Amino acid sequence: MKKYLLTDVELRARWSRDRSSTYYVEEGAILTPSAKDFLKEHNIQLCYTMGGETTESAVSSMTMTPIPTQNGKARYRNAATGQELDQKPEEMTHLRGNLLVPKIHPQIEFRGKLDSLMARILEVQLIAEECEEPKVLSDLEEILEYAHQILAAEVKDEPLPAMNIMDMDSQQIRYNSHHVKKVFGISHPIPNYRMGKLCIALNSLRTQVREVELAAAKAFCQGGTFTRVDIIEGLNRMSSCVYIILCRKLSGYYK
């Protein structure tokens, strides 16, 4: 199933033309956090097309709590103060359901960085395709799917499913990334431009995953206690997965 990123920019462009309450997208569309906010804010229903047929879905499979209404109008609530609001202020956005927080809230910042990460994964996939590396592209597809799972788990406030990427669980990923010489027969690679376009892109992607991990640690730390260790650990292992792909490429594994 082909996946693509559906952003609020695309949705706003459609909405400005027809103000429709229903939009049709191909199966496999991955919604960015800002796209989900836009759908909820404008009460737009998303319908997925599968093999020529259309199936209706709620605003998104990630939506956990619908926005309550009163006299036909949406009712919002300030998550910090509990204050009820008739309209969503421009400087605030949805944390979950009708709960609003400032756009500078750490969890919103985390979602934005995760959004950027998924966009970057797609860019690196294009490079893998240009370099005729279908196996690299396939491994990146699994990482993209896991990023989607992280987003869903955070938005729905549900546990992150057990990791299984490239036929490896969390412990296997950690072992392979720490024992590069034994597993791949090469030393830990030191990035340089001679590695080529794809390897440089993979190394850049690895660093971006690390940045998202730090954003998660910041977002989910309350009084010195981390509330979403599963997401933080999942991102840590995701960066290891990208590193493993880099080591696989440099060691000739994919040939």
Contact between 241 and 205 under an 8 Å Cβ cutoff? The reply is no
pLDDT digits (tens, 9 = 90+) for 32-80: 777 777 787 777 777 766 554 444 443 333 333 455 565 555 577 777 7
- CA–CA separation, 54 and 49 (whole Å): 4
User: Which range has highest mean pLDDT (27-31, 65-69, 194-198)?
Assistant: 194-198
- CA–CA separation, 75 and 3 (whole Å): 33
Side-chain half-sphere exposure of 22, counting CA atoms within 13 A: 9
Query: What per-residue confidence (pLDDT) applies to 72?
Result: 56
Query: What per-residue confidence (pLDDT) applies to 219?
Result: 92
Q: What is the pTM of this model?
A: 0.72
pLDDT digits (tens, 9 = 90+) for 141-175: 999 989 989 988 888 888 999 999 999 999 999 99
The domains located in the chain, with CATH, are 4-63 (no CATH), 106-251 (1.20.1200.10)
Closest CA to 244 of 151, 144, 136, 163: 136
Structure tokens, 1: 């199933």
